[in-house]
């Protein structure tokens, strides 16, 4: 997203995703100014999905870099605020799913992007949860060493999961797990409702539009990313002026 993010220009609005129509019409206006001609809907929709995924993935990188700078003592107050905002935005994509063992492994959720944590799917007994956290491992050789060592063999009290194409949990007596994860970004309807059929953001002049699932304040990042892909010569001042006008319009609409 670069050093300067247009996300700061707009107020946070988790209730709705960035409007696919607003992004498309803005790009049309910018393309006309840059004499790039007409942006086709098919072309725009292809780039829209890629742009959303690119911004979504960049949040993880930015969060990691900002936390590293904070630990190093660089501008901790500002970094703390930035960390909070990114974590709030990513929390919207956080999901939980209980998975039952199939054959020798657990299937990953179809919409999973990144795992947050895994626990055994216990129950509540005398107001106490019987769930056990599962240590996550991505190294098959490390798992093999654990299984061969009697002192470190996983137990039901201290289970371990190997993450590969599927999820393998040791000991094998564990039959059900609960996965917390970040989902792949998809789309929302214009009223803010999430779509449930895996639809990706898409603009249609004659039927239902599927808005971005990224929050509304990422509108300008999306415009910026798609403009690069289309080849529009985008100047920061154009987006800033557009953002200022949209912010004023939003304030006026909130007044009525």
- For range 36-40, the mean pLDDT: 75
**Which range has the worst mean pLDDT, 51-60, 72-81, 186-195, 240-249?**
240-249
Burial of 51-71, coded b for 16+ CB within 10 Å and e otherwise, reads: bbbbbbebbeebbeebbebbe
Query: What are the helix (H) ranges across the chain?
Result: 20-33, 41-71, 76-91, 140-148, 219-230, 236-255
Q: How confident is the model at residue 12 (pLDDT cuts 50, 70, 90)?
A: very low
pLDDT digits (tens, 9 = 90+) for 91-133: 989 999 999 999 899 999 999 999 999 999 877 777 777 899 9
Query: With the C-alpha atoms ordered 69, 243, 253, 21, is the resulting torsion angle positive or negative?
Result: negative
Query: With the C-alpha atoms ordered 174, 178, 181, 186, is the resulting torsion angle positive or negative?
Result: positive
Q: At what angle do helices 236-255 and 20-33 cross, to 10 degrees?
A: 140
pLDDT score of 61 more than 60: yes
Q: How confident is the model at residue 1 (pLDDT cuts 50, 70, 90)?
A: very low
């Amino acid at each position: 997203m670069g050093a300067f993010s247009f996300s700061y220009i707009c107020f946070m609005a988790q209730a709705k995703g960035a409007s696919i129509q607003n992004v498309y019409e803005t790009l049309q206006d910018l393309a006309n100014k840059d004499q790039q001609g007409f942006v086709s809907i098919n072309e725009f929709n292809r780039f829209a999905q890629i742009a959303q995924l690119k911004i979504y993935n960049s949040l993880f990188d930015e969060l990691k870099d900002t936390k590293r700078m904070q630990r190093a003592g660089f501008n901790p107050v500002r970094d703390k605020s930035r960390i909070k905002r990114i974590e709030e935005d990513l929390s919207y994509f956080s999901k939980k799913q209980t998975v039952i063992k199939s054959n020798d492994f657990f299937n990953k959720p179809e919409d999973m992007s990144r795992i947050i944590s895994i626990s055994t799917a216990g129950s509540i007994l005398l107001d106490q949860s019987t769930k056990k956290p599962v240590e996550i491992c991505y190294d098959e050789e490390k798992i093999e060493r654990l299984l061969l060592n009697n002192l470190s063999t996983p137990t039901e009290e201290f289970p371990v999961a190997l993450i590969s194409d599927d999820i393998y949990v040791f000991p094998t007596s564990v039959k059900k797990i609960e996965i917390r994860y970040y989902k792949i970004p998809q789309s929302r309807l214009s009223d803010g409702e999430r779509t449930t059929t895996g639809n990706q953001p898409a603009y249609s002049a004659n039927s239902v539009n599927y808005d971005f699932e990224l929050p509304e304040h990422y509108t300008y990042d999306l415009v910026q990313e798609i403009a690069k892909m289309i080849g529009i010569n985008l100047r920061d001042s154009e987006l800033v002026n557009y953002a200022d006008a949209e912010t004023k319009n939003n304030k006026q609409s909130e007044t009525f």
